[in-house]
Amino acid sequence: MSSLALPVTDPELEARLRARMAVVEEALDSHVRSEAAFVTEAARHLMQAGGKRFRPLLVLLAAETGDQADSDDIITAACVVELTHLASLYHDDVMDEADLRRGAASANARWDNHVAILTGDFLFSKSSELTAGLGPGGVRIQAQTFTRLVEGQILETLGPGEGDDPLEHYLRVVAGKTGSLIATSAQYGAIYSGATSDVEAALTEYGEKVGVAFQLSDDILDIASESHESGKTPGTDLREGVLTLPTLIAMRSQDPADHRLKTLLSQDLSDDDLHAETLALIRQHPAMDEARRYVSGLANEAKELLKVLPDGPVRAALDAFADVVATRSA
């Protein structure tokens, strides 16, 4: 592991997290092996393409709040959340018809939809097998998380119903598809390190908020970034007709100058020229800054929850984690 996806100022904590991430990385590699060589290749494809490993890192960091941060269950829990996440990416890229992920060809682009879907299933079943080692409590949490992930994804696909506020609907989607698994990462870290139930509750809520902030900043990046920065194709959400925080804020504008943008956002954007025009208009719209402010607000709320922890390097690192997520550029 070359570097951690978050700044840890305490050298001892950094060294410990780095060493534990290396153990997680090795464990992940062993868990994606199958007796069928092709399955191993397909399952390794996205894992080896990179990724920030935010979720397992959060498990390790949250585990520092208990007195058994070094337990084997922590490594298992870190693998469970990363494999669940990885599984969902294989499926997500099929639904989005994405061709790029983590700077590499997505599995559906490199092979086909069937391979991508079944590889996602394989990774999800590996993750489920591992939860058995955590006992019924751990299995229940993962199952509930899976339910929320899928519900979030379905709600996104359906779009807001009659009378639903589009922004509220979107925030529900985001809480389900991303908040849930990041909340579980923090919760697992607390539980399997033996943290108190107060700390477990605070970290779970912290994870949920950080998770929502993480997805919102991902949605902002989908508009703002160039593909060489994000490893994905920019403007994918627009092309798929999915309105996210910046576009939903712009849609609320009553300013006549926004008429063209709002008209574009209400129509099919699979045409390259219309897509490029919309992307250019939204990129320089004040809604982008408003969206960023909303994300920073969430990160601040998450940091407030850390008051349950004593001052020190662990709390400072969790604080930094919330900030990194809110201001990420990739």
Type of residue found at 110: R
d(CA 33, CA 55): 21
| Neighbour-count burial of 165, counting CB atoms closer than 10 A to its CB (0-12 exposed, 13-18 middle, 19+ buried) | exposed
Work out whether 82 is an interface residue with ligand FPP (CB under 6 A): no
Work out whether 208 is an interface residue with ligand FPP (CB under 6 A): no
Kindly state the smallest distance separating residue 231's Cβ from ligand FPP, in Å: 9
β-strand partners of 105: 100
When CB distances are held under 5 to 8 angstroms depending on the partner's kind, the choice from ligand FPP, Mg ion, none that residue 120 binds is: ligand FPP
Rank residues 66 and 179 by Cβ distance to ligand FPP and give the closer one.
Answer: 179
When CB distances are held under 5 to 8 angstroms depending on the partner's kind, the choice from Mg ion, ligand FPP, none that residue 292 binds is: none
According to CB under 6 A, which one of 53, 126, 169, 232 is a site residue for ligand FPP? 232
Type of residue found at 193: S
Rank residues 95 and 316 by Cβ distance to ligand FPP and give the closer one.
Answer: 95
d(CA 60, CA 63): 5
Work out whether 247 is an interface residue with ligand FPP (CB under 6 A): no
When CB distances are held under 5 to 8 angstroms depending on the partner's kind, the choice from ligand FPP, Mg ion, none that residue 128 binds is: none
Rank residues 124 and 321 by Cβ distance to ligand FPP and give the closer one.
Answer: 124
User: Which residues 80-109 are close enough to bind Mg ion by CB under 5 A?
Assistant: 92, 96
Tokens of 276: 């490029």
Work out whether 169 is an interface residue with ligand FPP (CB under 6 A): no
DSSP letter (8 states) at residue 100: E
Tokens of 104: 């590499």
Distance from CA of residue 205 to its chain's centroid? 15
Q: With contacts defined by CB under 6 A, name the span among 107-115, 133-141, 142-150, 200-208 that binds ligand FPP.
A: 142-150
For the chain, report the end-to-end CA distance as a whole number of angstroms. 18
Closest CA to 260 of 241, 243, 240, 274: 274
Work out whether 92 is an interface residue with ligand FPP (CB under 6 A): yes
Work out whether 225 is an interface residue with ligand FPP (CB under 6 A): no
User: Could you list the residues that contact Mg ion (CB under 5 A)?
Assistant: 92, 96
